[in-house]
Amino acid sequence: MTAPLPLISSVDLVPRDRYREWWDEHRNVAIVHRAVDGTLTVGTSTTPSFWDKVFGRAGTRLAVDVSDHRRQAAVTRTPLPCSDQAHRFAARFDVGFRVHDPAKVVSRNIPDALPVVYGHVVHQIRTIARAFPIDEAGRAEDAVNRAFQHGVELPEGITIYLCQVHIEPDQAATEYVRALRTAQRDRTLGQHRHDSLVAAANSEQALEDIKLDGEMARDHRRGAALAGMSWDIEGLIRQHLIKHPQDTDRAMQLRIEWESGQAARWELGAERNEQMFRFLVEKDFFRPADVAALYSGGSGGGSPWTPPAGIAPAPDGPRPAPTAPVLWGSAAPAGAAPAGGGPAKPALVVPVYVLVDVSQSAAPFTAGFNDALRSLHTALAQSPDVAAGIRLSVVGIAERPDMRLPLTQIGWGTDVPHLSAGGGLNLGAAFDALLDLLPGDVDALKHGGGRAHRPVVFLVTAAPPQDGAAWPQAQQRLGGHPYAPRIVACGLGESDARAVLRCASSPELACVAVPGADVADQAAAFSALLQNTVLRLGRGVLAGHPDLVAECPQGLRPAASAT
C-alpha cells in the first residue's frame, strides 16, 4: 500500500520549545493564515498575540508543503482497455509534482496529494490508450508522454511538472500479440517458400521447354537431311563416312564384304539358272534356233542373265553418276539455288505507329488504352502470318513524346507496354518526334532485306492540344518528308473534331466519339477501330495490296459529320 503524502500541517500546534527545530525541518513550506472569517492569506508567519488568542481573533496558521515530490507507481486496479475493448494495457509511471497555489490546497482541504495526482495521471493514460490497438503500445506511450511534456496545473493547486509513462500489453495481451506476430511470420515464410517453389518449378519447366525445343529442332534438321539421303548401300556408306570420317577403313571393309556377298549370291543364282537351262534343253523344251536367239538377246550377243542390283557392271559399261553427299543440319548442299530458279522477292512490311494521348486530361481513358494495346497484341500474336507484314511501335504523347515500344514484329514474346497519364498534350512535339523517327526506321527495314511500305500512324487524343497555334506547322513539316505517313486520327472525350479532321491524312481516316458515350464505350470503340484496321492492313500485305481503310465502328462517327 502506498504511504500517504500529507501537504497541510498546523503551525499553532507546534510546542514553543520545538518551534525553531520545526522551522529548520520545514523550510519548503508556505504559511497560509486562515482568519476567523475564513479569509486565507499566504505568507503570514507572525505569532498571534495573547489577547488575539483570548478574544478569538488569532485564526489558524497552516503550513503547506511546496517542495518537489517524485513518486513511481503502477496501474493495477484500473483497467486500461485498448481500442478493441478486448485486451488490456499495463502501465507504470514516474511522476513529479509540487504545490503552486497553497491557498487552493487549504481551501480544498487536500490532506494527501497522491490520490489527486495519481487520479489525474491514470485518467489521462486510460483516455489516450483506448484509442490505440493492443499491438501499438509504443504509440500509445508516446501519445501519453506528449500530453505531459509541458506540465499540467491541476485545479487543486498542484502542478505535475514531470510524468514519464511506460505502457505495454498485459500478460494475456502479450501472449496474443506474440501469437499474432508468430502467425504473421509463418505466413510470410510460407509465402516466400511458395514463391521459391513456384520459381523453381517455372525454372525447371523453362529448362525442359528449352531442351524440348532443341530436340525438336534437331529432329527437324535430321529429318530434312534424311529426306535427300540415298538408301542403297553406297549412300549409307557415304553418310557413315560423313559423320565418322575416321572410320574409312571399316567402311571400305564393309563395302567389300557386301559386294563379295552379292557376287557369291549372283554366281549361285547363275549356276542354278544354267542347270535349269540345260535341263530344259535336254528335255527338248527349246529348239536350237530358240537357244541361239536367247543367247543373242535379240541384240547381237550378250548373256541372257543380268547380275543383281548392286554388282558393278563390266568395265566397258557406263557407270552411274555418284550420289551427292548430304551434310547433317542442311537438307541441300551449300550454295543450292532456291526453288523456282530465280531470286526470292523481298518481303513487304508496313511500319505502324500508335500515338496514344497520355496527358492528364486522358487519365480516365488510360485503362481503356492499355486494354486496346493488349487486344491488338493478342490478335497479331494469334495470326503470325498477318503479323509478319506489320511492324508495330507505341508512343505515348503528352508534354514530350515517350517511346514505349520500338518498331518490332509482334509475337507472343513481345512485352505489351503499360501507359500512365500526366502533363499536358503537345501535338507539335509528337509530329516532330515522328519526323526524327521515321527515316531511321524505314531505312532499317530496307537494309534488312525487306520492302517498306508507306508508314501508317494511329493518333488518338482525349483533349484539345495545348500548342494550338504551333502543331499545324509541325504537321506540315512531317507531311513534306519523303517518308510522310498516312495518319488515322481518332478523337475521344473533349477532343476538337476540327483538329482531329485536320490531323488525318484524309476525311475518311478521321473518327470522333458519338455524343453521350461514356469513357469505357469510347475506349472500346477505339480498340475496335485500331484492331480491325491493323488486321485488314496485314491481310492486305499478304494479298499484295495493303490498302488503308478505316471504318468507324459502333461508338465512333466520321469527324466530318461532327464539324
Query: For residue 550, what is its C-alpha cell?
Result: 478505316
* Confidence check: pLDDT of 448 > 70: yes
Question: Does residue 455 sit in helix, strand or coil?
Answer: coil
Question: Looking at residues 108-132, what average pLDDT do you find?
Answer: 92
In a domain, 208, yes or no: no
Last residue of a domain, one of 121, 145, 169: 169
Say whether pLDDT at 91 is over 60: yes
Asked if residue 220 is part of any domain, the answer here is: no
- Full 3-state SS string of 248-313: HHHHHHHHHHHHHHHHHHHHHHHHHHHHHHHHHHHCCCCCHHHHHHHHHCCCCCCCCCCCCCCCCC
pLDDT at 117: 94
Output the pLDDT for position 339: 39
Burial of 521 (0-12, 13-18, 19+ CB in 10 A): middle
Residue 295 to residue 289: CA distance in whole angstroms: 10
Same domain, 321 and 366: no
- Grid coordinates representing 425? 498534350
Q: 371 with 459, same domain?
A: yes
CA distance 493 to 486: 23
Between residues 240 and 133, the one the model is more confident about:
133
For 9, residues 6+ apart whose C-beta sits below 8 A from its C-beta are 26, 29, 62, 63, 65
Q: Is 188 part of a structural domain of the chain? A: no
* Local confidence band at 531 (pLDDT 50, 70, 90 cut-offs): very high
Residue 236 lies in a domain: yes
- Structural domain count, the chain: 3
Query: Which of 242-251, 314-323, 342-351 has the highest mean predicted lDDT (pLDDT)?
Result: 242-251
The yes-or-no verdict on residue 72 having pLDDT over 60 is: yes
Q: For residue 219, tell me if it sits in a domain.
A: no
Rounded distance, CA 415 to CA 417, Å? 6
Give me the helix-helix angle, 427-447 and 471-479, nearest 10°. 20
> Does the pLDDT value for residue 476 go beyond 80?
yes
Residues 117 and 15 in one domain: yes
Return the HEC string of 120-148: HHHHHHHHHHCCCCCCCHHHHHHHHHHHC
Give the C-alpha separation, 157 to 346, whole Å.
Answer: 101
pLDDT at residue 313 is higher than 70: no
Q: Are residues 426 and 528 in the same domain?
A: yes
Q: Which pLDDT score is estimated for 287?
A: 56
Is residue 33 pLDDT above 90, yes or no? no
What's the mean per-residue pLDDT of the chain? 81
pLDDT bucket at 141, cuts 50 / 70 / 90 = very high
> Tens of pLDDT along 149-165?
998 999 999 999 999 99
Confidence of residue 320 (pLDDT cuts 50, 70, 90): very low
pLDDT band at 284 (very low <50, low <70, confident <90, very high): low
Which of 123, 147, 169 is the last residue before a domain boundary? 169
Three-state SS at 356: strand
DSSP bridge partners of 117: none
Which ranges of 301-426 does DSSP label H, i.e. alpha helix?
366-382, 384-387
Domain match, 441 and 507 both: yes
- Counted residue by residue, the chain has a size of 563
Mean pLDDT on 384-406: 94
Assigned C-alpha cell, 248: 574409312
Confidence at 234, pLDDT banded by 50, 70, 90: low
Judge if 432 and 496 occupy the same domain. yes
321 plus 430 within the same structural domain: no
Q: Taking 50 as the threshold, does the pLDDT of residue 246 lie above it?
A: yes
Measuring CA to CA, which residue among 498, 481, 491, 416 is closest to residue 458? 491
pLDDT at 484: 93
What's the pLDDT at 12? 65
Q: Return the pLDDT at 291.
A: 53
Q: Which has the higher per-residue pLDDT, 224 or 557? A: 557
pLDDT reading at 302 higher than 90: no
Q: Is the pLDDT of residue 549 over 80?
A: yes
**Of all residues in the chain, what percent carry a pLDDT higher than 70?**
79
Indicate whether 86 pLDDT > 50: yes
Expressed as residue numbers, the domain containing 492 is 348-562
pLDDT at 340: 42
Range 120-145 average pLDDT: 93
β-bridge mates for residue 391, sequence order: 351
Report the CATH number at residue 428: 3.40.50.410
287 vs 510, residue with greater confidence: 510
Kindly report whether the global pTM for this prediction surpasses the value 0.75.
no
Averaged pLDDT, 367-387: 93
Element (H, E) at 241: helix 233-243
Of residues 7 and 496, more confidently modeled: 496
Residue bearing cell 478574544: 55
92 vs 339: which has the higher pLDDT: 92
| pLDDT over 80 at 518, yes or no | yes
499 forms beta bridges with none
The one-letter code for the residue type at 1 is M
Is the pLDDT at 360 greater than 70? The verdict is yes
Q: Is 106 helix (H, G, I), strand (E, B) or coil?
A: helix
Q: How confident is the model at residue 222 (pLDDT cuts 50, 70, 90)?
A: confident
More confident residue, 495 or 237: 495
**Does residue 225 have a pLDDT over 70?**
no
Q: Are residues 356 and 291 in the same domain?
A: no
**Coil, helix or strand at residue 49:** coil
| Last residue of one domain, picked from the residues 145, 169, 193 | 169
Residue 469 has pLDDT above 50, yes or no: yes
Q: Residue 157 maps to which CATH number?
A: 3.30.479.30
CB burial readout 7-32, b (16+ within 10 A) else e = bbeebeebeeeeeeeeeeeeeebbbb
Report if residue 179 sits inside a domain.
no
Are 355 and 395 within 8 A, CB to CB? Answer: yes
Do 129 and 69 have their domain in common?
yes
Same domain, 146 and 52: yes
Q: Does the residue 17 lie in any domain?
A: yes
pLDDT greater at residue 555 or residue 336: 555
426-436 pLDDT per residue, tens: 999 999 999 99
Q: What is the structure's pLDDT at 312?
A: 44
pLDDT band at 299 (very low <50, low <70, confident <90, very high): very low
Q: Residue 177 has what pLDDT?
A: 82
Residue 296 pLDDT: 46
493 phi-psi bin (left φ>0, alpha ψ -120 to 50, beta other): left
Position 59 scores a pLDDT of 62
Core vs surface per residue 223-256: b (16+ CB within 10 A) or e: eebeeeebeeeeebbbbebeeeeeeeeebeeeee
Assess if residue 180 is contained within a domain: no
Question: Are 29 and 136 in the same domain?
Answer: yes
User: Which residues does residue 74 pair with via DSSP β-bridges, in sequence order?
Assistant: 92
Q: How confident is the model at residue 232 (pLDDT cuts 50, 70, 90)?
A: low
**449, 557: one domain:** yes
